[in-house]
A and B are shown apart, each in its own frame.
Chain A
Amino acid sequence: MSYTIPIGPYHPALEEPYKLELECEGERVRAAHLQIGFNFRAIELLAQSRNVIQNIALFERVCGICSNVHTLTYCLAVENLLGIEPPLRAQYIRVIVAELERLHSHILWAGAAAHILGFQTLFMTCFRLREIVMDLLESISGNRVNYAMNAVGGVNRDLTDPRTVQEGVHQIRRAVEEQLIPVFTTDPTVRARCAGVGVLTKEEALAWGAVGPTARASGVAQDLRQAQPYLIYDRLDFSVPVQESGDVLARIIVRALEMVESCLMIEQALDQLPSGEWRGQLFVELPPGEAVARIEAPRGEVFYYLASDGGEKPVRVKVRTPSFVNMPTVRLMLKDATLADAPLIQASIDPCYSCTDR
């Protein structure tokens, strides 16, 4: 039986607008076609009609999960153009929020993966854990989704209660180490669904320019926090988890270990948190010129390009998101997979259509 089955643009596996058309023979996928752009919002064009400060709020809305990453990279690009560096306390706060956001993103993804595997109990466990991270982010920023923490040259809010964050992070680390990692790595049904499925070799990952956990699960040891440290990452002691097998299980393990590393990083940053100034600038006058910034987002490298002619509005802002880079690799992973594996493989790169269709 040969047929074409559409997954999306509306599908219960991943409630985001994309379309994956699978040409199948029986349960076997012979070819996959990916279609994006259902929710394009022209954010880069909108950025050209707003001033530098207004654009922070705009880029916060590129993505609902990694909203902080986008404002952070944008602010870093602006700071690079201005030639300024935020105060040390602000840099620590930025790292704490960024790592909490990574935790949030990875836990959310783990829950989505469990949902796609049909493992509802694990899904509920992940989402209960996610609540703790969201509560922590709310306690720091006052918001659960768009944190509005970043400003040019600093942050908008101080971190006033490090103890609560410390306790919450410790609780998350314990839960990840004692619950999530054992279930994801030892449960026979999860292993049966994930081991050896959707393999992306190291050569393919390099050739197709995969980034983030997708690349690291295929043996490409690249992480901007270590390769090109920004903010205060060079002051933290952490390792970059890498797996060689390149399958869905490897992507799960990489993200699970990254969660533990993020917790350890937050704990270190809270211990080292210096006192002092943290506020950013309220008014910015951009000099003419260009600047770029790139950071390691939960899904991989985020790149911002900023061009200014000296006016209050940028003449061009270009955003490159990790999902956009990783998505084409899904076609390689899907080749000769089974139909049942397709939603899981597709989700294993943690695609963000909000980032992609910005």
Chain B
Amino acid sequence: MSSWFALLVFPGFLYALPMGWLMLWVERKTLARLQSRIGPPFYQPLFDFIKLMTKEPLPRPSQENRFYLFLPLLALGATLGALTLLPVLPHSFSLVGDLALFIALIEIAPICLVLLGFLSRSIFGQVGAVREAVLTIASNLPFIAALIALAYASGSLRLMDIALHAPPLARGLAVLAIFACLPIKLRLNPFSVANAEQEIYQGALTELDGWRLGLWELNHAVEWVALSGLTVSLALPWRSGLAVLDAAIFALLSLAVVFLLACLAGATARLKVGQASRFYWRWGFGFALLALAVSFFPFGG
């Protein structure tokens, strides 16, 4: 399968955009149903995007405008690039060492968010940026440790090899650690600290409006697809060989991950930045360490 197909069609742009909006809707709808509300119609995230993109934004100095355009586009491009590498189909596009490239690409969006917060020159943006930076470091420790455990256990740095050949115990523990990192990476409760509305408005995004916010929201939708997709593709140890069936299973399980995350978000209050960091150092890293231990010292191996 060519890299262009992966980037532009599946699991890239053409799949990621509608899927991202669908995931945003599933999250909002699940939350709404948990709270005895009706919730929005399925096309709401798309309409929100159109509204943001067509709004007249506040005039800003051209220097700032360049950053507001460049950073969300960079984040979007990097997240789409990471999505391209997901080992969904048996003959997916893959590279030797694409695991390292995936980690590098998926981390660009949080860095862009931190930069956006500092560039906004708003105190809320800056506090949000600091929180985002602290939490990114806290969550990356278990996230990357879990991926290293999987790579070691399967003896490869290629995502497809990892997905197909990781031993079950190491895979289970690592996938749990990765799943635990998703709320922080998607800025969801109980770790929605960097965008704690009641404390610092929208944090790093406080000063973004119109198309600037629209572009960022688009990136956020694609982030949902990439991160839930990573969890699902690494959790599944087999592929049917039928592209349509594999894609459908991938999409459905990704939506199930979104549903679980929304349930978790609906059932919890927001923690503080220190508490969230401690959680990841203690529990997230704990799972990742176990996965590492199981990988390095396999039972019966």
Contacts and interface: CB of A to CB of B under 8 A. Distances in A.
Contacts of B266: 120-121
Interface string B27-41: 000010011110000
Interface string A323-358: 000000000000000111111000000000000000
B48 interface: no
B123 A5 contact: yes
Contacts of A341: 272
Interface stretch (B75-83, B98-106, B149-157, B188-196): B188-196
Which of A117, A187, A190, A338 is packed against the most chain B CB atoms within 10 Å?
A: A117
A343 B273 CA distance: 15
Contacts of A117: 269-270
A115 B196 CA distance: 11
A10 B8 CA distance: 44
A128 B269 CA distance: 18
B39 to A, nearest CB: 12
Given A121-B31, A192-B271, 17 more contacts: A1-B126, A3-B123, A5-B124, A5-B200, A12-B198, A12-B201, A13-B198, A27-B273, A114-B269, A116-B198, A118-B196, A118-B197, A118-B198, A119-B189, A121-B267, A339-B200, A340-B196
A193 B270 contact: yes
A151 B35 CA distance: 40
Contact of A121 (B34, B198, B201, B272): B34
Given A12-B201, A121-B34, A339-B199, A189 B268 contact: yes
A209 B232 CA distance: 58
A124 B198 contact: no
Contacts of A343: 198-199
A189 B36 contact: no
A104 to B, nearest CB: 20
Interface string B236-279: 00000000000000000000000000000011111111110000
B275 to A, nearest CB: 6
Interface string B17-56: 0000000000000010011110000000000000000000
A247 to B, nearest CB: 15
7 contacts: A5-B123, A118-B197, A121-B267, A124-B36, A189-B190, A339-B200, A341-B272
A351 B273 CA distance: 26
A190 to B, nearest CB: 5
A122 interface: yes
Contacts of B268: 119, 187, 189
B130 to A, nearest CB: 7
B118 to A, nearest CB: 11
Given A121-B35, A193-B269, A339-B127, A27 B198 contact: no
Contacts of B34: 121
Contacts of B274: 27, 338
Contacts of A192: 269, 271-272, 275
A6 B123 CA distance: 9
Contacts of A119: 189, 268-270
Shortest 8 CB-CB distances between A and B: which pairs?
A118-B270, A124-B35, A119-B269, A117-B269, A189-B269, A13-B198, A340-B272, A189-B268
Interface string A86-128: 0000000000000000000000000000111111111011001
Interface string B105-131: 000000000000000000110110010
A193 to B, nearest CB: 6
A340 B35 contact: no
Nearest to A116: B198
Interface in B191-217: 192-193, 196-201
A315 to B, nearest CB: 44
Given A13-B199, A27-B274, A118 B127 contact: no
B180 to A, nearest CB: 15
Contacts of B267: 121
A5 B128 CA distance: 12
A163 to B, nearest CB: 26
Contacts of A118: 189-190, 192, 196-198, 269-270
A170 B122 CA distance: 49
Nearest to A344: B198
A25 B38 CA distance: 42
Given A118-B189, A118-B192, A121-B266, A340 B273 contact: yes
Nearest to B275: A192
Nearest to A120: B35
Which of A3, A340, A343 is packed against the most chain B CB atoms within 10 Å?
A: A340
A109 B273 CA distance: 25
Given A117-B269, A189-B270, A193-B272, A340 B193 contact: yes
Contacts of B198: 12-13, 115-116, 118, 343
Given A118-B192, A121-B34, A189 B271 contact: yes
B35 A5 contact: no
Which of B37, B269, B275 is packed against the most chain A CB atoms within 10 Å?
A: B269
A117 B198 CA distance: 8
A253 to B, nearest CB: 16
A119 B198 CA distance: 11
Which of B192, B199, B267, B270 is packed against the most chain A CB atoms within 10 Å?
A: B199
A198 to B, nearest CB: 13
A338 to B, nearest CB: 6
A30 B192 CA distance: 24
